């Protein structure tokens, strides 16, 4: 499913988030170092990123999701070259040194192609390969793809989203994208699906989707969910980003209990423990 490698989804897996943006919401760009030569801009400390990935693998991550473009509303847009400069060295380092599947969080055809050559096994695209050339780029690789539902674009998506029935709309969208992928030559064994929590949805939409998540299993493909530290958790527990772990774990457990195969999280060790408790409960004796 994922490039040269097979991802075993017989038990749920943890995807660890590795942001390599200078303005990332959750880690404040702690991986960034000033270029130090007086040149403008930002360069990623590959070494720091690799060390952080190493800890996530030791903590139980099966996938490391490397992202160089912030999808936070209002975030600065990133040129393709900037995105390449940020993510490719990090992907190369992780693929070379760690026994883990590397995922690239991107919508850009060039980044998809270069990431595959650098050793990434999965494309995680919040735009579900809708950008010009992205579908064709992914098809020429052997990578897995995660197709996520998003209404609109990050800058505008939270402006009063309205759905007739959110689950039906998300399901129909994902099914259409799966059909497009298959037509482009991406076989179903390479595809996983994501309802896109927080992307063009109100709080009520997000909780409807979480409650009804099991219905997306009808499509017959593995489900990935990203709930970690999001506003839908923060709004309910009434805490800032740093205080959202317990709420995020509850949401991850609810998703996995409804059949989610992959959970995308910041807190790998804690989430791995939570999933182990689910697995122990489901083990027949
Ligand atoms: C996702 O759900 N999300 S980036 C705001 C936060 C905390 C976290 C307000 N990429 C997803 O993680 N890829 C992102 O606090 C994703 N699924 C997939 N497949 C947003 C994010 C976040 C935003």
Question: How far does Cα 250 stand from its chain's mean position?
Answer: 19
Q: Which residues of the chain have pLDDT under 70?
A: 23-44, 285
Structure tokens at 168: 């039906």
- Please tell me the predicted confidence (pLDDT) of residue 283: 87
Residue 136 belongs to a domain with what CATH number? 3.20.20.20
pLDDT of residue 24: 53
Residue 153 lies in a domain: yes
Residue 8 belongs to a domain: no
Catalytic residues: 230, 264
Rounded to the nearest whole angstrom, what is the distance from the C-alpha of residue 284 to the centroid of ligand 1?
34
Choose one of 24, 71, 221 to mutate for the ligand 1 pocket test, by most ligand atoms within 8 angstroms of C-beta. Answer: 71
- Determine phi and psi for 260, rounding to 5 degrees: -65, 140
66 in Cβ contact with 20 (< 8 Å): yes
Residues within a 6 A CB radius of ligand 1: 25-26, 71, 105, 124, 126, 146, 148, 194, 196-198, 224, 226, 229-231, 241, 264
**Residue pLDDT, tens place only, 194-229:** 999 999 999 999 999 999 999 999 999 999 999 999
Query: Could you say which DSSP state residue 76 is in?
Result: P
Secondary structure (3-state) at 236: helix
Residue 2 lies in a domain: no
Q: Atom 8 in ligand 1: which residue has the minimum CA distance? A: 230
Q: Please report the pLDDT score of residue 92 as a whole number.
A: 97
DSSP 102-153: EEEE---HHHHHHHHHHT--EEEETTTT-STTHHHHHHTS--EEEEE--SS-
Domain-embedded: residue 3: no
Beta bridge partners of 66: 18, 104
- In a domain? residue 190: yes
Angle of helix 203-211 relative to helix 245-257, nearest 10 degrees?
A: 40
- Residue 33's pLDDT is what? 54
128 is in which domain, residue-wise? 13-282
Q: Residue 75 has what pLDDT?
A: 79
pTM for the model: 0.94
Q: 1 in a domain, yes or no? A: no
For residue 67, the SS3 value is strand
pLDDT at position 39 is 46
Within a domain: residue 80?
yes
Domain annotation covers residue 5: no
> Number of folded domains in the chain?
1
Residue 22: per-residue pLDDT = 72
C-alpha 79 chain-centroid distance = 20
């Amino acid at each position: 499913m994922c490039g040269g490698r097979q991802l075993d989804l017989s038990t749920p897996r943890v995807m660890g988030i590795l942001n390599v943006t200078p303005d990332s919401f959750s880690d404040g760009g702690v991986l960034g170092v000033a270029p130090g030569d007086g040149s403008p801009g930002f360069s990623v400390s590959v070494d720091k990123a690799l060390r952080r990935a190493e800890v996530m693998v030791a903590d139980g991550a099966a996938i490391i999701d490397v992202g160089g473009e912030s999808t936070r509303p209002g975030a600065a847009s990133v040129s393709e070259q900037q995105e390449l400069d940020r993510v490719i060295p990090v992907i190369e380092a992780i693929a070379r040194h760690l026994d883990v599947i590397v995922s690239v969080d991107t919508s850009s055809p060039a980044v998809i192609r270069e990431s595959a050559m650098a050793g990434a096994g999965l494309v995680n695209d919040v735009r579900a390969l809708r950008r010009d050339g992205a579908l064709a780029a992914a098809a020429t690789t052997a990578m897995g793809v995660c197709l996520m539902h998003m209404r609109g674009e990050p800058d505008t998506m939270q402006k009063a989203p309205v759905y007739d029935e959110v689950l039906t709309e998300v399901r129909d969208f994902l099914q259409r994208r799966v059909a497009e992928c298959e037509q482009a030559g991406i076989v179903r064994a390479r595809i996983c699906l994501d309802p896109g929590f927080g992307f063009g949805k109100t709080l009520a939409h997000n909780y409807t989707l979480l409650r009804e998540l099991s219905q997306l299993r009808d499509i017959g493909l593995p489900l990935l969910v990203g709930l970690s530290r999001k506003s839908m958790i923060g709004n309910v527990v009434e805490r800032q980003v740093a205080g959202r772990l317990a709420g995020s774990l509850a949401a991850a457990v609810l998703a996995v209990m409804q059949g989610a195969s992959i959970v995308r999280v910041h807190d790998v060790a804690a989430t791995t423990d939570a999933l182990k408790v689910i697995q122990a409960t489901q083990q027949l004796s």
